[in-house]
Amino acid sequence: MRRSSAARQPSATAPTRHRVLDHIGFDVKDHPAFVKRLEAQGITLDEPPRKGGANTITYITDPWGTRIEIIERGPLGPEVQTATAAVQEQPYPRLPAPPVKSPPDTTAPDIPGVVSGGTKVHLVRDLFHSTESPIAMPDGSVLFTEQDAGDGRIVKIGLDGSISTFVDNTNRTIGLAYDTKGRLVGAQSHVGRVGVLYPTRQTLVETVDGLPIVSPNDLVADKKGGIYFTDPVGGRFGPPPPERKTPRVVYITRRTGRSFPRSTCSLTDRLPTSAPSRH
């Protein structure tokens, strides 16, 4: 876990490129034909299509500044196929790799609107067990998930630099967000569900459209009180149920009361052939 010594930059609308979320990606079939359709609609490519290994890649930018990767993935090489097959044959649960030492202090690249180039980046502490999802608390402290510490924990870095456990036994929570009610909500991947972790514990949703949540990962809360989360098919703790065939992105609409019943959940994207990739 690292922190930057730069002061927060003024909030402003800016392109996504070189920011924390640099771009989103979509897998397509027949890359040349897809590019021709884009150009026929007057859409300009950011750069000519190029090869990245076996993949064909180009980028476009939408009117709001979101950079979008258009990628057609080529066949995996034999070494990757062998490694993938080895992973697929591993028994459940599939254990994580051990933590490793981090590089020493370094400097940040220039990311407009976020941090100035050359800003010192200080190593706070390393050898955590699979960290993800750093978010700010209302007081400016930082929370992040340590997925593989026991059954998962949420770690807090205080304003004074102190490190402590904020919530323990999180059901291997990965994605984190504060909702509009001030609750800390997490995507819990051991037993698949989305729920409140603080100040109380509460399950929000375990099934969507009658299908079980398998291994929720990324999670974002919007300003309207809704929650988006990703739900891949693959999981570390067991094979997916036979009725779950494809990954999905789910939206939970805002609802008063103690829970979000299944009827308030709607699938926004089933992603069978054109799947956003995470970067």
- The answer to whether residue 15 is domain-embedded is no
The contacts of residue 273 (CB under 8 Å, 6+ apart) are 27, 29
- The answer to whether residue 32 is domain-embedded is no
**pLDDT at residue number 241:** 86
DSSP class of residue 115? B
**pLDDT at residue number 83:** 59
- The answer to whether residue 254 is domain-embedded is yes
Burial of 128 (0-12, 13-18, 19+ CB in 10 A): buried
- The answer to whether residue 150 is domain-embedded is no
In SS3 terms, 183-225 reads as CEEEEECCCCEEEEEECCCEEEECEECCEECCCCCCEEECCCC
- The answer to whether residue 261 is domain-embedded is yes
* pLDDT by residue, tens only, the chain of 279 residues: 555 555 554 555 567 776 656 788 888 889 999 999 999 999 999 999 998 878 899 999 988 888 899 999 887 667 656 655 665 666 777 777 788 788 888 888 887 777 888 999 888 888 999 999 999 999 999 999 999 999 999 999 999 999 999 999 999 999 999 999 999 999 999 999 999 999 999 999 998 888 899 999 999 998 888 898 989 887 788 888 888 888 888 888 875 333 333 333 433 433 333 333 333
Of 243, 166, 183, which Cα lies nearest the Cα of 219?
A: 183
**pLDDT at residue number 265:** 43
**pLDDT at residue number 235:** 79
The range of the structural domain enclosing residue 218 comes to: 171-279
Q: Give this prediction's pTM.
A: 0.66
CATH number, position 183: 2.120.10.30
- The answer to whether residue 140 is domain-embedded is no
The contacts of residue 179 (CB under 8 Å, 6+ apart) are 185, 221, 225, 227
Structural domains counted in the chain:
1
**pLDDT at residue number 245:** 82
- The answer to whether residue 149 is domain-embedded is no
- The answer to whether residue 205 is domain-embedded is yes
Which amino acid appears at position 47 of this protein?
Answer: E
